[in-house]
Amino acid sequence: MGGCFRRRQGRQENATQRKEETKHGDLVYQWEQRRPACEDVETNVPCAQQAFAVGLASVMGLLSGKKGVVFGVANKRSIAWAIAQAWKEAGAELAFTYQGDRLKENVSQLAETFGEDTLITECDVTQDDHIDRVFNEVGDKFGGKLDLMLHAVAFAPKEALEGTFVATTREAFRVAHDVSAYSLVALTRAAAPLMTEGGSIVAMSYYGAEKVIPHYNVMGVAKAALEASTRYLASDLGEQKIRVNCISAGPVNTLAARGIAGFSSMLKHYEAHAPLKRNVLPEELGATGTFLASDGAAAITGQVLYVDCGYQVMGM
């Protein structure tokens, strides 16, 4: 392991020692400020360069024994898939749903890598009978117990994401809100009776809920409803130790983003303007999803957590 290990010596707890030669050929020892990503020396964890690999190692077991259900995988680029992989790495056992026959094959191929006995079942989140059946199946699979649920589902008719918001039809508004916002309420209501020892529900949002993003239109209004629903659900279910939170992700190149005019210039805009000068990685959404699902977030509920390389704090 080639990382810089922190040495505990005197008052230099936050520094590492570096050997340097002066112009006279003398060897001197320089203290370097410890890099912020470094972990504790006792666990022998190296820093920055290996930070991500280490991040994964250190979250191992964080969700061990927990059972979860994942809504919203379409393909390997899906945010739902990134979070599912991170949950699995952390020790969770997961069930998956897919929307319609079109996605069945894709989702099955991915989910079967979690073990051939993985529950993979259809769920159109606008159908109450689908939701009832799915949670019966999930309950049977996991012995009547559930700890985690991921909601990564959104849809608005394509036309509604092209022109102006004022042109949104009644039907496009209804569909966008049904699929993207009401579904969280319906799924949470069905999941709650299985979360007998508490639980963590994570939903995906976007900054368009809060500020106008050109063409995001009715999806922005639906995400605002999703975020408000998160707060009301958190209030209702807190007594049962069920937490409900949103991750507001910066733009990610998924199936849902493809075909959106100007999406690649949007990625460039974030790179130029976000404090971290880059876009968020799917595995970073996975890491945040794991944190929110874990007992480390036991006092966090009703929140919208921005995982957007800091973009949301900028005023200009």
Q: Which of 255, 200, 262, 263 is nearest to 233 (CA)?
A: 200
Residue 166, exposed/middle/buried by CB under 10 A (0-12, 13-18, 19+)? exposed
Work out whether 215 is an interface residue with ligand 0WE (CB under 6 A): yes
User: Beta strands of the chain (E only): which ranges?
Assistant: 15-21, 27-33, 67-71, 93-98, 120-122, 148-151, 199-205, 242-249, 304-307
Work out whether 219 is an interface residue with ligand 0WE (CB under 6 A): yes
Tell me which of 154, 184, 237, 242 binds ligand 0WE, using CB under 6 A: 154
Restricting to residues 260-279, name those near ligand 0WE by CB under 6 A. Answer: 260, 266
Tell me which of 51, 119, 123, 156 binds ligand 0WE, using CB under 6 A: 156
206 is catalytic: yes
Give whichever of 63 and 219 is closer to ligand 0WE, judged by the CB atom.
219
DSSP 113: G
Query: Cα separation of 178 and 155, whole Å?
Result: 9
Which three-class secondary structure state does DSSP give residue 148? strand
Give whichever of 114 and 311 is closer to ligand 0WE, judged by the CB atom.
311
- Least CB distance to ligand 0WE at residue 287 (A): 19
Query: Cα separation of 167 and 237, whole Å?
Result: 37
Q: Single out the segment in contact with ligand 0WE by CB under 6 A; choices: 45-53, 70-78, 214-222, 286-294.
A: 214-222
Which one-letter amino acid corresponds to residue 102? R
Query: Cα separation of 181 and 184, whole Å?
Result: 6
270 is catalytic: no
Q: Single out the segment in contact with ligand 0WE by CB under 6 A; choices: 58-66, 73-81, 150-158, 239-247.
A: 150-158
Work out whether 161 is an interface residue with ligand 0WE (CB under 6 A): yes
- Catalytic annotation, pick one of 98, 207, 216, 311: 216
Work out whether 203 is an interface residue with ligand 0WE (CB under 6 A): no
Query: Cα separation of 157 and 144, whole Å?
Result: 36
Query: Cα separation of 16 and 3, whole Å?
Result: 11
Q: Which residues are catalytic?
A: 206, 216
The residue ranges that bind ligand 0WE (CB under 6 A) are 154-156, 158, 161, 206, 213, 215-216, 219, 251, 256-257, 260, 266
